[in-house]
Amino acid sequence: MKGKKILVSVCALALCAGVSAMTVGCNKNNTKGVTLVEVSSDDVGRVDGISYYVVPEPAATAKVKALTAAGTEYSNVASLQQLYGEESYPQAVLVAKKSLIENDGAFVNKFLTEYAATANWLDAQTSYTEIVTAINSHGGTTLKAPMLSATVVKNCNIYFKKAAEAKQGILSYMNSVNAISPAMFGQCEDAFFCNVDGISATTVNQSKTTVSVYMPDGAPALSMAKMMCATPDVGKTLDFHVIAANAINSCVTYSDEASNADLCVLPVNAAAKLLGNGSRYQLLGGVTHGNLFIISSDGTLLTADNLSQKLEGKSVGVVNLSAVPGLTFKMILEKYYIEYTQGSV
């Protein structure tokens, strides 16, 4: 009897050891974890104890240049889009009032034709002074001509992707982010995704002669640069407004519907959460597709193979930690089974 008890005990210990080994095997592979810290754009590179920073272009390259010129050599060490490992993740989208789409399809079609031409137009630019001047004249901008180059503009990943083509990527991104932060997105109903190719080429109501277009500063503003620099032939006057990213949501949430933007570029999570039922606005398409980068004074490039090891025990400063940049970075940490907490240094 005693021998049986010993045998049972040994088996139990072996089973526990096996379960323990399985648990370790399934655990995230960064035992010390990563500490995520909210930082402002001005704080990038200036906070003791932070090894890496997640920053959107075009600010990322500007910060690298400024910090290096100030005496601490920084470099771009990773693209979140490349770490994401797919074609792209949706970052900013273009929405339009449903009434505008239904009443003036002819205008919407002309606008989208001009808008879709922006990517090639930006690729052809060699001077950015006119672009920055035009953006600045529509509300102000943090962009400076010396910040921009062909590489920086390419890193902004600006191109128009019709709603039908962007839909699956948006829903996939939403599912991944919602797994990290439940209810971060609202439910995107099918009615939210406009059938751009099916927009009527006719005009029902011609009373609206001026159309308001709102966008956040930065890459979304660059996406409208072509039309800001030269008045497009779209049949109406375009009233552009470039505003701070933290204020863009208010442009589609006024109780007085007439005060809301006719067309607006929004972060994808805000667009889905605020407008996802499609009753007031519809999504026309994606605008920017992954312009987030990691910069550091440690010049080692971060890859899928070394990401866990390089970030182990480190603090990472994230501009807009609670919004798309932070959610996207958390999604990538989850993808690579890296533990993280939020804190301060």
Average pLDDT for residues 243-264, to the nearest whole number?
A: 95
Q: What pLDDT, in 10s, does the model give residues 123-134?
A: 999 999 999 999
Reply yes or no on whether the pLDDT at 18 is more than 50. no
Average pLDDT for residues 60-65, to the nearest whole number?
A: 94
Cα separation of 124 and 117, whole Å?
Answer: 11
Average pLDDT for residues 293-300, to the nearest whole number?
A: 96
User: What does the pLDDT read at residue 203?
Assistant: 80
Q: pTM value?
A: 0.85
The stretches of the chain forming alpha helices (DSSP H) are 2-26, 59-69, 80-84, 98-103, 105-116, 118-123, 129-136, 150-155, 163-180, 219-222, 225-229, 268-275, 307-311, 324-335
Cα separation of 203 and 226, whole Å?
Answer: 25
Average pLDDT for residues 136-159, to the nearest whole number?
A: 94
User: What does the pLDDT read at residue 303?
Assistant: 96
Reply yes or no on whether the pLDDT at 197 is more than 50. yes
Q: What pLDDT, in 10s, does the model give residues 151-164?
A: 999 999 999 999 99
- Three-state helix/strand/coil letters over 85-121: CCCCCCCEEEEEEHHHHHHEHHHHHHHHHHHHCHHHH
Average pLDDT in the chain: 88
Cα separation of 294 and 80, whole Å?
Answer: 7
Cα separation of 319 and 325, whole Å?
Answer: 7
User: What does the pLDDT read at residue 125?
Assistant: 95
CATH number of the domain located at residue range(s) 92-288 in this protein: 3.10.105
The pair of three-digit structure tokens given for residue 312, joined into one six-digit string: 């182990």
Reply yes or no on whether the pLDDT at 72 is more than 90. yes
Least reliable range by pLDDT among 7-16, 93-102, 193-202: 7-16
Q: What pLDDT, in 10s, does the model give residues 214-249?
A: 999 999 999 999 999 999 999 999 999 999 988 999
Question: What residue type is assigned to position 190 of the chain?
Answer: D
Reply yes or no on whether the pLDDT at 3 is more than 50. no
Cα separation of 6 and 8, whole Å?
Answer: 5
What are the b/e assignments for 176-205, b being 16+ CB within 10 Å? bbbeeeeebbbebeeebbbebeebeeeeee
Model confidence band, residue 185 (pLDDT cutoffs 50, 70, 90):
confident
Residue ranges of domains in the chain: 34-86+294-342, 92-288
Cβ atoms of 204 and 173 within 8 Å: the answer is no
Least reliable range by pLDDT among 26-40, 103-117, 262-276, 320-334: 26-40
**What would you measure as the largest C-alpha separation in the chain, in angstroms?**
95
Model confidence band, residue 345 (pLDDT cutoffs 50, 70, 90):
low
Average pLDDT for residues 112-116, to the nearest whole number?
A: 97
User: What does the pLDDT read at residue 313?
Assistant: 94
The pair of three-digit structure tokens given for residue 72, joined into one six-digit string: 């601490």
User: What does the pLDDT read at residue 16?
Assistant: 40
Reply yes or no on whether the pLDDT at 23 is more than 60. no
Q: Which of 260, 263, 221, 226 is nearest to 244 (CA)?
A: 221
